[in-house]
Amino acid sequence: MNVVNPATGETVETYETDDEADVVTALDHAESTFESWRKRPQRDREELLVSAAEILRERQSEYAELITREMGKPITQAESEIEKCAWVCEHYAEYASTYLEDEYHPSPAGTEVKTSYEPLGPIFAVMPWNFPFWQVFRFAAPNLVAGNVGLLKHASSVPGCALAIEEVFRDAGFPENAFQTLLVSSDLVEDVIDDDRVKATTLTGSGPAGSAVAAASGERIKKSVLELGGSDPFVVLDDADLETTIEKGVRARNQNSGQSCIAAKRFIVHDDVYDEFVSGLVEGAASLTVGDPTDPETDVGPQASAELLAELHDQVERSVAAGATVETGGEPLDRDGAFYPPTVLTDVPDDSPAARDELFGPVAAVFRVDDESEAMARANDTRFGLGGSVWTTDRERGERLAHEIEAGCVYVNRVVGSDPRVPFGGVGVSGFGRELSEAGIKEFVNRKTIWVQ
């Protein structure tokens, strides 16, 4: 696997891939490790997660630089990603026992009936490049502390991150094979799913990849969780606090250089505040610093590869050809690296890519609506259903409309995020199942009913 720095276009590292024999060996190790790991006291597993959090903080700069080198994330955002991984480890270290506590049920006199939450075994995770540490840790922390073991097939562009994550768990004191990285191509994914030792699968990534993993898992009667793409609505009502809403809107679209499933992508704005909001959004987007991701002053780094930049620009060009107006940005920067500027599109036609597809980069599509009814219709005019947000000074109005948006999570007056304390996941083509919180740790356990007469 060749690692290409997207800020320079240069190959910076090469990794030798695993072959089929390596995969078989890893599965053997996973199966044998699970038999002992599942018997470890819950508190022992929790203490090891605390150790993992400590290692992440000790090596925050090292791992942040690795993220930036492999996929181009601005360095301050990469540092925040490592901190968030430490947080999710600490969260499950504190709450796993509560989440997995036996649940007792009404039963006849003299009997005891309960549900016990027991681990399944080796869980296979297929993960993407855009949050190369966080999206792995939000899978790994709850599953390891629940007594499962993990096998990771990471994106081929971030093999260094994949191996570093394995290193964190090993150095924290987890059994050597409790969490293993497989440096394999996508061609071997179905073979891993097909193996009887793998008990469940999870994927964060594109719709086609999710469909393939779900189909392979379903054919083998294996549980799967999918977190796929999104085209999140950012609904701005006529009574919104525009100064705050514009500031948050600029961040919601351009964080991680726009490469986030839960980024705000479709800005749906009430006519009464449309002109002022668009003016502020354009000004804010144009003021962001695009450049060297290792510079702490950089707001927007490169797209993760030249190929991804080309795909994004093609979507913009086709949207403009269909009738959209470019208010700022809209052309790749004339410099080395895969740099695309923050872009704002207005007058976006309903049948254009900016309205129908997921634009995975710093491109905001803005739509004008006359009232909240039209805003809700526009918000739900998508096959995606990951997240959304509503911006209003009337909290009751915001909550009422949050119930109308068809998505896995809706935030009122806050940018959509994934937080260890609350369930995260989507509906429709954005996937199924939940990660994080109590719901996430219970996705891959045997909910065993035990009746004692």
Span 256-305, pLDDT tens digits: 999 999 999 999 999 999 999 999 999 999 999 999 999 999 999 999 99
* pLDDT tens, residue by residue, 312-339: 999 999 999 999 999 999 999 999 999 9
Percentage of residues in the chain having pLDDT higher than 70: 100
Fold of the domain built from segment(s) 232-412: Aldehyde Dehydrogenase; Chain A, domain 2 (3.40.309)
Catalytic residue of the set 70, 261, 409, 435: 261
Q: Which band of pLDDT confidence, cut at 50, 70 and 90, is reported for residue 365?
A: very high
Angle in degrees, CA 299, 302, 308, rounded to 5: 135
261 part of the active site: yes
Contact 121, 197 (CB under 8 A): yes
Confidence of residue 95 (pLDDT cuts 50, 70, 90): very high
pLDDT of residue 374: 98
Between strands 112-119 and 445-452, the pairing is antiparallel
Res 94: pLDDT: 98
Under the phi-then-psi rule, with left for phi > 0, alpha for psi from -120 to 50, and beta for the rest, what region is 79?
A: alpha
Question: Which residues touch 388 (CB under 8 Å, ≥6 apart)?
Answer: 232, 233, 234, 235, 379, 402, 405, 407, 409, 410, 411, 416
Each residue of 216-268: pLDDT tens digit? 999 999 999 999 999 999 999 999 999 999 999 999 999 999 999 999 999 99
Instruction: Extract the tokens encoding 303.
Output: 């797209």
At residue 300, the pLDDT reads 98
Q: Which of 81, 90, 227, 443 is catalytic?
A: 227
Contacts of 187 (CB under 8 A, 6+ apart): none
Active site residue 435: no
pLDDT tier, 344 (very low <50, low <70, confident <90, very high otherwise): very high
Q: Phi and psi (nearest 5°) for 291?
A: 175, -150
Tens of pLDDT, residues 60-73: 999 999 999 999 99
The pTM (predicted TM-score) of the whole model is: 0.97
Strands (E), 78-230: 103-105, 112-119, 122-126, 149-153, 179-181, 200-204, 223-227
Question: What residues does each domain of the chain span?
Answer: 2-228+427-452, 232-412
- Residue of 382, 386, 379 whose CA lies nearest to 409: 386
Q: 100-114: string of b/e by CB count within 10 Å (b at 16+)?
A: beeeeeeeeeeeeee
Looking at domain 2-228+427-452, its CATH architecture is 3-Layer(aba) Sandwich (3.40)
